[in-house]
Amino acid sequence: MKLIFLGPPGAGKGTQATGVSTSLNVPHLSTGDMFRAAIKNETPTGLKAKSYMDKGQLVPDSVVIDMVRERLAMDDCKGGYLLDGFPRTVEQAKALDEISTPDAVINIEVPDEKLMSRLTGRRVCGKCQGTFHITKLANEKTCPVCGADLIHRDDDKPETISNRLRVYHEQTAPLIGYYQGNGKLRTVDGDNRPEDVLKAILASLE
């Protein structure tokens, strides 16, 4: 199955990706994670992406599309994929249709007023990539799964989050209409317990 996760920053795309990719036996491809790895390794793509990400803006389409095209050509994507964070513009969606047309698009809906607190309180494990919220952590600094240090993402500051939400509504939300138009969109209520959201996603794919 070739699947896309659509939704605003903090909707729970990364949180749901592990369960869904395991269940469908497809790789989880997050363009945000790819850029963060490129920044850490100081690659040319990482150097280009950093200034945009720090401001909460989208990385230019040409950079993202080339990176995704290369990733989808790899052997592990032959049986399908779960794309999280791509496409984010209509231009990216059109490019994906030419590279590898998706089978279904899951749109995870969460009201804007819930997203700010989800993101300011998010902590991510630098080792196992687990995603947590401070309200559920006994210790804010250490991963409860593997014990590595937890990271507060640079773009999870209130002013950058506001910008990411504005960019989402202006540039990414139009994709809802794009995928409604071709009958691929399934909308799921993301404002529920994570385990219920997972069930709803899997049910929408049956």
Binding region for ligand AP5 (CB under 6 A)? 7, 9-15, 30-32, 35, 52-53, 56-59, 64, 85-86, 88, 92, 118-119, 121-122, 131-133, 155, 164, 190, 192, 194, 197
Decide whether 26 or 93 has the Cβ nearer to ligand AP5.
Answer: 93
Q: 3-state secondary structure string, the chain?
A: CEEEEECCCCCCHHHHHHHHHHHHCCCEEEHHHHHHHHHHCCCHHHHHHHHHHHHCCCCCHHHHHHHHHHHHCCHHHCCCEEEECCCCCHHHHHHHHHHCCCCEEEEEECCHHHHHHHHHCEEEECCCCCEEEHHHCCCCCECCCCCCEEECCCCCCHHHHHHHHHHHHHHHCHHHHHHHHCCCEEEEECCCCHHHHHHHHHHHCC
CB of 194 to ligand AP5, least distance (A): 4
CB of 67 to ligand AP5, least distance (A): 9
Tell me the residue nearest to ligand AP5 as measured from the CB: 32
Q: Which of 2, 88, 118, 184 is catalytic?
A: 88
Catalytic, 184? Answer no
Decide whether 120 or 205 has the Cβ nearer to ligand AP5.
Answer: 120
Catalytic, 36? Answer no
CB of 38 to ligand AP5, least distance (A): 10
CB of 200 to ligand AP5, least distance (A): 10
Query: Which residue numbers are catalytic?
Result: 13, 88, 122, 153, 164
